[in-house]
Structure formats: structure tokens, C-alpha cells
Amino acid sequence: MPWHAAASPIEIPRAPIDRETESALQLGRYVPLFGWGATEDEARRVVALVSRAWSTEADPGAIDCLSVMLLHPTLGTRPMAYLSEAIQSGSAPATWGKVALAAAGLLGAGDALRAEFGEPMLDCPALRPDALRTVAVGGAERYTFPEGFARLCAAEKELAGTRDAEAFTALRAWFELVLARRWSAHDTLREIRLESLPAADAWLVSAGLFLVGDDGAKGRMTEYASLALEGLQTVAPRALPTLARELAELVAQPWARRWDHLRCAAAKDHAAAAVRAWLSAALYETHEEGTEHETLGPEMTRAAKEARALVGGFLLDWFVQDREARSRVDHWAGDVLRIYHRLHGASMLGSALDEVIG
Amino acid sequence: MSAFDDAIDALHESIAEWNRGAVPGTISRCAVCFDAAAKEGDSRAAVGAAVARGLAGDHEGARRRLLEATARWPDAAGAYVALGMLGLRSPDVLAQAAEASWALTAARSLAPSVGCIERSLAVALAAQGEFMGALQCARAALAIDPDDEEARLWSALLRLYFGGDITSASVLIELPTEALLRGRSTAIWLGAVAGNYARGEFHEARVSLRKCIGVFKQGATPEKPLVDSARRWFRELRGFGAGVPMTGERWVRDVGGAQSEYVRTRSALSAFRDAIVQSGHRCPSDVVTVLDIDGALGAMEARARRGMLEYGARLMVRGFAEAYLPMVACLEPPPMEMLAAMGLVRLDG
């Protein structure tokens, strides 16, 4: 008997999708992931569901159907909250939480759904870095890249000194290079040793470097994507060709993408840098016009404060006036982030498989 | 003599006795007389009562009364002129600049071609950050009265920082001598500071600053914010540096240094250009051509130059307004022509 027969056929999307399944999903007549509680059987059921959705004989719509099953209209995020509590109390292993997060990523859940699903896992110390990736790396869905960037910056600060610090620096730098067109982030990404990063993170860095035309970046993308998908071949055989097709689309027009990125970089408000240069020069101006007055404090004029407040934000660098080029880069970034979450989910699931299904 | 005439006398007496503010007894008498006249439904008296309170330091009370007056007599320019004038004499002038601009724009619509309204509107718009509009108003004021030193001051400042016209620095330097002869206060020397510094005359700029703030007592609490504000602006002026942005040796510093985003974006575009040239036909011409990249480089430079002048004006012209206008409000009474524009003069022929 195949191992994924552990899942009851009533609870998983049928192949092909029929009207009965569709109406069951619309009416909430399904058990969401970990809806039966934080049990081993439930962890196996989640793996089975994912496996069934990605199997070669599955309906193409099965992945979307299973994405709906991440949450339930009535229960909301409660199953995930219970799972999080069980992991924190030690009654469930952290691997089960990993399986849940992996499912959300691998299925290609949108930003909002993925964030809602992953939020309860932020309370588990063992899962926090992965939950932060699930919640914070996004913004393509509603063009909330600045919010995603702000969350990433906070995460990077929080994880400073841990073994995940470098990975979050890389993620933040990717946002800065691709979406804010900051070349200092290009230096950061080039300095990072890709071998020290998880495969999905290394793939994302390679994608950023591919965009700006770095030699060999395309090859590294393929290499790290294969590494992330390793171990998933037997469980989700359809994942590899699907992702290969998406990856091919991503790298299809390197000249056009690089040109769009450069157009955005050229359209940035470069004059804004001047305000910072002038004001920092002003602070070094300590020589007074005479000695009869008390030394001035570092406080600036209101005009200077207001001028400085206008510059330096991610929003200013991202939201450039060249709308056409910005929109194309944003779409590309959205596709990259969706694949990133698939790869991250795949590598998480691959690492948890042994423990869950033995 | 009517209560209104009494009030006008008291107002003029107060202006004649002006000593870093109105004399409290005189300005109180003025307000009481205007209140009495306003009871008879005279719009000018209502404006006068508000102005008297504003000059006595009750800016919020004056503003409230003037807003009521504009609602009651929307076709009378006096209340709008007063609202604009008091906004520009407020201690936090940048916060009041938008309302002052609005009021003076309304006043200009009701009473066109009045030099003092055009000039005040130029000041309000400059403090608000609407530099192009400010320059147009300053020029309109100069077309009405070419000897208007305040309009010349603001026109030259805007030409220097917003227009990048270094020749206007000489106007700023020459202005104080003429203006002092016409009874203006030493605050006008602050404009010369800008002119001297732009021309790289650093010692002269310091001397001008001393002339500007020298009238204030050292460490005197009520005057200390005025002095400090001027010194802060001067410190920022030194950070801004001599000349105008992106000219001569300033260029690299203004764009943020050799490792700035501007310089690196230019390098990235040049590298992309080289890559296209070397690629032959691998890069399709409907995607990008060498000409497209040259166009992007040119547009980036033009935008950066224009943006830098805009930011420079935000920093230096608005900072100037923040330091200069409260100093003028302390040292000088409202000009008589402004009072005339509010109808606060006796029309006895």
C-alpha cells in the first residue's frame, strides 16, 4: 500500500476535481491542515495531502484546492495556534510545524494567506526563522514591498548573532538590490558565501545577481533549485517539472529584465542623497563665527528636519516614476518570491520527511 | 472722534513706539477701541481688533477672530491680508506658511496688483516650499515697485538656490546697505550671509551674521531662540557649501561621493551599454539599444540637477524663512502699506 494512503480520500482534493469537491471547499466542508489536532497522524495526513496534490496523476487544480485547505473559514488560524502551543509545551515535535510551513510555501500560497498561516508559528523559538521567512518575505501580491522590507529589517536585527543572521542579511539585501535598486546591496550579496546559506536563500541571492547581469548567476540558480528540491522527487514528482518551467520563464529575457532594473535605478531620486551629504557636512562644522555665543546643540532647523525626512526611505527608492519599468520589475520580483517560497517549502519538507513518515 | 479713529491712532502710536514688540499699554488700548468699533458692524474694526491681539502675542486668538471675519465678510480683502501677515509673523512660521499662502492668494484675488500682497505671498510660498510660485510673485511685486527691497531679497534668494543663478548673490550682498537707509532692521543682513557664502567669501559671511544678530543681547532668554535659529541656519549653509549644486568641484560631493547610487548607476548603465555593443545581435533591438541607454543617462543627470536645486531650496530658502521672519517680526512693526491693505488707516484725505 503506498504510504500516502494514510490520508482519507474524503478529506483530500480528488483528481480530477469535481463539482462536489469544489462545493465542499466553498462551504468549508473540509478539515484544514492540522484540523484534527497536533498528532502524528495529522502530520502524516498533511504530507499525504501535499504529495497527492503534486502527484503525476493529480488534477492541475489540486494545488489550488489544497491551498484553500490551509485555513478554514470558521476555525481560521486556530489549528495552527494549537499546533504552535503543542510545540512550545513539548508535546509535539517542531518538525510538524515545519511540515505545515513547508506545505504553505510549496503550494504557492499568496502573501496574505501565507502570512496568516505562518503567524502563530512565530511564537515557537525553534521555528521562528522559518516562520519569519514565511511571514516577512513577500509583498508582491498587493505591492506592499516596503512593508515586507520593514519586517525583514526587523527580523535581521532580531536574529543578529544567530546562525540565521547571514541568511536574513541576504534576504534584506535582495530586496534592496532588486526593488530599491541600491548598489551597496549588490556588494553585500556578492560578499555572501552562498554555500553557507540554505539552498532556497542561496537561490534567491543568485536570482538577484542574475538580474543585474552577474556571470554564472543563471547556472547557480539551477544548481540551488535542484538542491532545494532534492529529496522531494519521490513524494512530489510533479514539483520538479512544474518548477523547472517556472524557472525557465524567469530567466527567459535577461536583457529586458536587466534594462528594466537599470531604468528604475536611473529614475530614482538621486538628488535626495545631496540632502544627507549637506546635513552631515553641517554637523562637522564646529567652528563658530565667534566665541561670544554658547555652543549650539546638534538640533537642526525645522526646514532641515523636514527635508531630511523626505529622503532615504525604501518607498522613495522603490516607487520610481518610470511606471512601466517598475511594474515589470515588480512582477518579476513577485514571480521570484513565489518560487522562493516553493523552494524553501520543498527543502523544509524534504528535511522533515524522514521524521514524519519514517 | 469715533472709536475706530481712536483705535487707528493707538495702532499707529504703537507702531511708532515699537521696541522688539508693541508697547503693552498702547496695543491694549488699541484692541479695546477696535472692539468698541466692531460692535457697530465695521469689518475693518473686527480685523483691527484681531491684528492688535496678534501684535500683542495672542496669535491663536487673532487667527480665530480673523477666520470668523473671513466667514462673515468673504469679499473683504483686509481679513485675508491680516491672516497672511500674522501667519508670517508667527514664531513657528513654517507651520503657518500654508495657511498664510492660502489667505494671501485669496487677498490677491480680491485686491489684485497690490505690491505688498504680492511680496507677502512670495514669502509665504517660499516658506511653504512652492518655489516657482514664490519666484513669480516676487517678480510681480518687483514689477509693481522695483525698489521693494523685501521682494528683491526673496527674488534673489530664490534665483540663487532654486534657479542656481550665482549672479544673484551680489544683489543679496548689496541689499542691506540700501535697506538700512530706508529704515529696515539689521535682520536684512541675513540675506547678505547667503550671498557672501555662495561666493565663497567666508569671512564676510561671518561678519554679516554678526551684524545680523549683534543687536540681540547675549543669552537673553526671549531673544535666544532667534539668535540660535540664525546660527543653525548658518551652520546648515556651511554644510551646503559655496556655489550652487553640481557645479565645479561640488559635483561628486553633491551626488553623495564616488560610491554613491548616482555614480554607480551611471557605471552600471555604461557597463550595460558595453555589454550590448559586445553582444552583437544577441540583445534584440526591440528590447534596448545603445541610444536608449544614452537617453537614460542624459535624463538621469538632468533630473538629478533639477532635483538637487529643489532640495537645496528646501533646505536653504525654507531655513532662511524660519530664521529671518521671526527676527523681522521682533525687530520691525508691520509695514504701513500692509495696514493700508487691511483698511487700518484713517481716510481723512
Cell (9 digits) for A130: 522559518
Would you state the pLDDT for residue A274? 86
Residues of A in contact with B257 (CB under 8 A): 277
Q: Is residue B116 part of a domain?
A: no
Average pLDDT estimate for B169-188: 94
Query: Could you tell me which residues come within 8 angstroms of residue B116 by beta carbon, excluding any fewer than 6 positions away?
Result: B141, B335, B337, B338, B341
- Asked if B232's CB is within 8 angstroms of A299's CB, the reply is yes
- Give the count of domains, chain B: 1
CA distance A323 to chain B (A): 15
Q: Is residue A275 part of a domain?
A: yes
Burial class (CB in 10 A: 0-12, 13-18, 19+), B222: exposed
- Give the number of A-B residue pairs with CB atoms closer than 8 Å: 166
Q: Is residue A249 part of a domain?
A: no
Least confident window among B82-96, B98-112, B209-223: B209-223
Q: Which member of A262, A266, A272 has the closest CB to residue B311?
A: A272
CA distance B324 to chain A (A): 12
Residue A72 pairs with which residues in a beta bridge?
Answer: A76
What is the overall mean pLDDT for chain B? 92
Last residue of a domain, one of A111, A136, A161: A136
A289, closest residue in chain B (CA to CA): B206
Q: Is residue A166 part of a domain?
A: no
**B217 vs B331, more confident:** B331
Q: Is residue B299 part of a domain?
A: yes
Q: Is residue B240 part of a domain?
A: no
Q: What is the pLDDT along chain A (358 residues), one digit of tens a residue?
A: 343 444 444 455 555 677 877 788 888 888 888 988 999 999 998 998 888 888 888 888 888 888 888 888 888 899 999 999 999 999 999 999 999 999 999 998 999 999 999 999 999 999 999 999 999 999 888 788 999 899 999 999 999 999 899 999 999 999 999 999 999 999 999 999 999 999 999 999 999 999 999 999 999 999 999 999 988 888 888 888 889 999 999 999 999 999 999 999 999 999 888 888 888 888 776 655 554 667 788 889 999 988 888 777 888 888 898 999 999 999 999 999 999 999 999 999 998 988 887 6
Would you state the pLDDT for residue B327? 95
B162-177 confidence digits (pLDDT tens)? 999 999 999 999 999 9
Cell (9 digits) for A80: 495552527
Provide the domain limits for residue B268. 250-317
Q: Is residue A174 part of a domain?
A: no
Provide the domain limits for residue A132. 1-136
Q: Is residue B96 part of a domain?
A: no
Burial class (CB in 10 A: 0-12, 13-18, 19+), B40: exposed
- Give the count of domains, chain A: 2
Would you state the pLDDT for residue A142? 79
SS (H, E, C) A211-251: HCCCCCHHHHHHHHHHHHHCCCCCCCCCHHHHHHHHHHHHC
- Asked if A299's CB is within 8 angstroms of B300's CB, the reply is no
- Asked if A292's CB is within 8 angstroms of B315's CB, the reply is no
Q: Is residue A102 part of a domain?
A: yes
B310-329 confidence digits (pLDDT tens)? 999 999 999 999 999 999 99
Would you state the pLDDT for residue B348? 59
Burial class (CB in 10 A: 0-12, 13-18, 19+), B283: buried
- Alpha carbon separation from B13 to B7, B47, B111, B195, B333 (Å, rounded): 10, 18, 27, 36, 11
B223-241 confidence digits (pLDDT tens)? 889 999 999 999 999 999 9
**B292 vs B24, more confident:** B292
Is there a cis peptide before residue B74, judged by omega within 30 degrees of 0? no
Please check whether residue B206 is in contact with residue A285, taking contact to mean a CB–CB distance below 8 angstroms: no
